[in-house]
Amino acid sequence: MDYLLAMAKKTKSRRWTMNYLMVLSILRAGLRAAEVGKLRVDDCLLDLRPPIIKIAGKKRKDWEKDTIYVPEGFAVVLKKWIEKDKPYRYVFEIRWKGLRKGIDRVTLWFRLKKIFKTLKMNPRYNIHCLRHRYGTDTYKAWDKDIEMTRRQMRHRFIETTTKYIHFARMEKEATKFLNQLESQQNERR
């Protein structure tokens, strides 16, 4: 994140600022790569307390939108971007020869993969890893409330959410180990 922010400040280019904000959208709002590109200006209700974003989730129609809460700091940064960039429809627009459209997920994947490579990060690290980080951070922020984390990540099943929460898996393994130990001690008696 520091690298992206430094490049955005250094170059003062729209592209680097947009890269920074797209990564921030995944880390702070838990957006999927495709949702980043489809995020519309009118779905960002950033003046509300708490600020919310409405998202047309996976395989849903435009009118079926999930509401997610976003941190105040992220809402302020995103609001400044919208006011400065003045996007027509989508928050993260690609502007090319007078055409304005939301960035597609493949372009986002390639952009970030190139950045990860520049930073000499593990080649296995990708954009989806950022969503795993969001799941873990959300779980901690909501005082280990798995149901609220599930809602924020927009998963249908809690089992899916637990795959995203890495230390929760460790806790689960530790509990399993302790239960096995306890059963072995009971057998000895």
Q: How many CA atoms lie within 13 A of 51 on its CB side?
A: 17
Q: Which residue stretches of the chain have pLDDT < 50?
A: none
Give the pLDDT confidence score for residue 146 in this predicted structure. 86
Give the pLDDT confidence score for residue 72 in this predicted structure. 92
CA distance 103 to 15: 12
Number of neighbouring beta carbons within 10 Å of residue 127: 21
The structural domains of the chain, ordered by start, are: 1-121 (1.10.443.10), 123-189 (no CATH)
Give the pLDDT confidence score for residue 79 in this predicted structure. 93
pLDDT in tens, 3-24: 888 888 888 888 888 888 888 8
Residue 87: is the preceding peptide bond cis (ω within 30°)? no
Q: What is the pTM of this model?
A: 0.76
Give the pLDDT confidence score for residue 165 in this predicted structure. 81
CA distance 26 to 127: 8
Give the pLDDT confidence score for residue 176 in this predicted structure. 67
